[in-house]
């Protein structure tokens, strides 16, 4: 029973979970992608430490939650970035079409 109280949280478990949650919350901003990638890296490091000595650490669930939320945040951020790239391409094509037709109507005498 005292051995249970001596066990500590896995390294980076809390940080990975917090960064994963932040990556979902800030997914519509560029910071969400950064938080997600850092959270995924920290979750991987935490799993490596946990798997090296599972009797010493607790918090595997927090590591799993951090990994899953980081992946969700990365996917959400990637979708948002692709959306904005497509939006800029469409807007650029519309502006180029409007400017091209305006330039074609100008006659030099």
The pLDDT tens digits of the residues spanning 35-48 come to 999 999 999 999 99
The 3-state secondary structure of 75-99 reads HHHHHHHHHHHHHHHHHHHHHHHHH
Residue 105 lies inside a defined structural domain of this protein: no
- DSSP code at position 29: S
Residue 60 lies inside a defined structural domain of this protein: yes
For the chain, first and last CA: distance in Å?
96
pTM for the predicted model, two decimal places: 0.81
Residue 55 lies inside a defined structural domain of this protein: yes
Give residue 62's domain range: 2-79
Give the pLDDT confidence of 88-106 residue by residue, as tens digits. 999 988 888 777 655 555 5
Name the domain count of the chain: 1
């Amino acid at each position: 029973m005292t051995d249970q109280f001596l066990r500590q949280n896995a390294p980076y478990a809390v940080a990975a979970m917090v960064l994963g949650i932040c990556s979902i919350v800030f997914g519509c901003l560029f910071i969400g992608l950064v938080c997600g990638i850092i959270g995924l890296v920290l979750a991987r490091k935490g799993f490596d430490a946990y798997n090296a000595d599972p009797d010493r650490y607790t918090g595997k669930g927090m590591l799993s939650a951090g990994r899953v939320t980081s992946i969700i945040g990365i996917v959400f951020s990637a979708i948002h970035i692709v959306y904005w790239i497509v939006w800029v391409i469409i807007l650029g094509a519309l502006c180029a079409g409007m400017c091209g037709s305006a330039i074609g109507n100008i006659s030099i005498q």
